[in-house]
């Protein structure tokens, strides 16, 4: 019966997949961890991880624990040549651990047009500068142009490397070169198993709640009451926030917008949701008018003080001159020390009074 099934499969063209041995599985895990990978879109739909065959072969022959230099004595697998590594990768390919893909470069017309326009503008500006500059600077400008062209070429090469999409290749064969192979083998990490088992145990523990000791049940009850109270407090605080905002907004005719805990309902962390405590914006004209009035009053006071100082200076100047004349005529009325003190203090009223008495 088994021979008949095999013959039928051969007639239908069905190829049986070779089962992976333990060494092949270990090689597969090592390749998945150590071979460098890149990410791009496959068939313009979803993002995939892929590697190049040349890097995978180099890693197996030179750096793997099955290479000629690092292999242990008596090991089942020793990779001495690149052909042996290709045969091993072919086994993994037939078991659908990865598949061969075809690289397609993406041409973006809009970006190229923008680049051409920018380059034209730069060339026009450089031509204008060349006309204004002297002949000695032409050599420096040529060098600068060459450097710019080299940088642009390097940038274009890097962008071309990034702008690659993958499609399914018709020939699923391992080729030593820069061929792309998309990973299908995606093992689940160990902590997924731990998290899954913890969730299952937690659900079982909750189902067995009536069998818990009385102290544990009472503690869980207090914790649930505390959590519910905290949620009610947050909801009440959010309602109070909007009530205060509406009250102040209506009372000030839309001039004041005052928020307490503005980040309370935002998508932030627990501590950040209570920072800052309040925020407000005032759009009324009162502050501007007050500042204008204060500035105007200060300007007026300054003008008054300047006017008084100017008048005092003029009066003091006239008093000094006339006082000197009267001092020559009447030496016995006052001493020189008193006159000097009067002139320094800026009070020329005494001298002015003396002049008025004489005129009368």
Burial label for 26, CB within 10 Å (0-12, 13-18, 19+), is middle
Q: Calculate the average pLDDT of the chain.
A: 75
Alpha-carbon gap, residue 99 to 185, rounded angstroms: 10
Closest by CA position to 60, among listed 38, 39, 32: 32
Q: Which residue has the higher pLDDT, 316 or 196?
A: 196
Confidence of residue 228 (pLDDT cuts 50, 70, 90): very high
Greatest Cα-to-Cα distance within the chain, rounded to the nearest angstrom: 155
Burial label for 181, CB within 10 Å (0-12, 13-18, 19+), is buried
pLDDT winner (highest mean) among 123-127, 235-239, 265-269, 274-278: 235-239
Alpha-carbon gap, residue 264 to 35, rounded angstroms: 46
Confidence of residue 56 (pLDDT cuts 50, 70, 90): very high
End-to-end CA distance of the chain: 154
pLDDT in tens, 138-156: 667 777 777 777 777 776 6
Q: Which residue has the higher pLDDT, 116 or 8?
A: 116
Lowest model confidence (mean pLDDT) among 34-43, 219-228, 280-289:
280-289
Q: So what's the pLDDT on residue 90?
A: 92
Contacts of 31 (CB under 8 A, 6+ apart): 56, 59, 60, 92
Q: So what's the pLDDT on residue 124?
A: 75
Contacts of 230 (CB under 8 A, 6+ apart): none
Cβ–Cβ < 8 Å for 258, 278 = yes
Q: So what's the pLDDT on residue 188?
A: 86
Domain ranges of the chain: 108-159, 193-282, 304-359
Give, in order, the Cα–Cα distances in Å from 156 to each of 103, 115, 143: 18, 11, 20
Q: So what's the pLDDT on residue 203?
A: 95
DSSP string covering 57-102: HHIIIIISTTBTTTPPTT-S--B-SHHHHHHHHHHHHHTTSEEEEE
Alpha-carbon gap, residue 68 to 336, rounded angstroms: 117
Confidence of residue 114 (pLDDT cuts 50, 70, 90): low
Q: Which residue has the higher pLDDT, 249 or 20?
A: 249
Look up the pTM and report it. 0.45
Cβ–Cβ < 8 Å for 256, 280 = yes
Neighbours of 234 (CB within 10 A): 14
Confidence of residue 266 (pLDDT cuts 50, 70, 90): confident
Alpha-carbon gap, residue 248 to 258, rounded angstroms: 7
Q: So what's the pLDDT on residue 348?
A: 42
């Amino acid at each position: 019966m088994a021979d008949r099934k095999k013959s039928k499969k051969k007639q239908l063209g069905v190829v049986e997949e070779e089962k992976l041995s333990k060494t092949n599985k270990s090689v597969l895990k090592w390749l998945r961890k150590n071979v460098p990978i890149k990410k791009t879109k496959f068939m313009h739909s979803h993002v995939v991880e892929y590697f190049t065959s040349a890097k995978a072969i180099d890693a197996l022959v030179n750096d793997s624990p099955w290479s000629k230099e690092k292999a242990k004595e008596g090991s089942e697998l020793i990779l001495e040549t690149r052909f042996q590594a290709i045969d091993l990768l072919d086994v993994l390919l037939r078991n659908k651990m990865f598949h061969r893909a075809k690289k397609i470069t993406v041409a973006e017309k809009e970006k190229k047009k923008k680049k051409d326009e920018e380059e034209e503008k730069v060339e026009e500006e450089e031509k204008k500068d060349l006309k204004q500059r002297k002949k000695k600077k032409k050599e420096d400008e040529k060098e600068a142009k060459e450097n710019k062209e080299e940088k642009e070429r390097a940038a274009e090469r890097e962008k071309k490397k990034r702008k690659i999409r993958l499609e399914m290749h018709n020939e699923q064969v391992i080729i030593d070169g820069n061929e792309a192979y998309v990973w299908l083998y995606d093992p689940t990490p160990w902590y997924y198993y731990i998290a899954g088992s913890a969730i299952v145990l937690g659900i079982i523990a909750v189902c067995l709640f009536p069998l818990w000791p009385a102290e544990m049940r009472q503690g869980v009850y207090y914790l649930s009451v505390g959590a519910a109270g905290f949620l009610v407090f947050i909801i009440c605080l959010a309602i109070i926030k909007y009530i205060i905002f509406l009250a102040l907004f209506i009372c000030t005719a839309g001039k004041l917008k005052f928020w307490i805990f503005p980040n309370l309902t935002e998508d932030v962390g627990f501590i950040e949701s209570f920072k800052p405590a309040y925020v407000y914006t005032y759009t009324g004209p009162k502050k501007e008018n007050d500042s204008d009035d204060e500035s105007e009053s200060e300007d007026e006071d300054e003008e008054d003080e300047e006017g008084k100082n100017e008048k005092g200076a003029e009066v003091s100047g006239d008093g000094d001159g006339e006082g000197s004349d009267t001092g020559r005529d009447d030496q016995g009325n006052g001493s020189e020390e008193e006159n000097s003190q009067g002139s320094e203090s800026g009070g020329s009223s005494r001298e002015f009074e003396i002049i008025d008495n004489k005129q009368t």
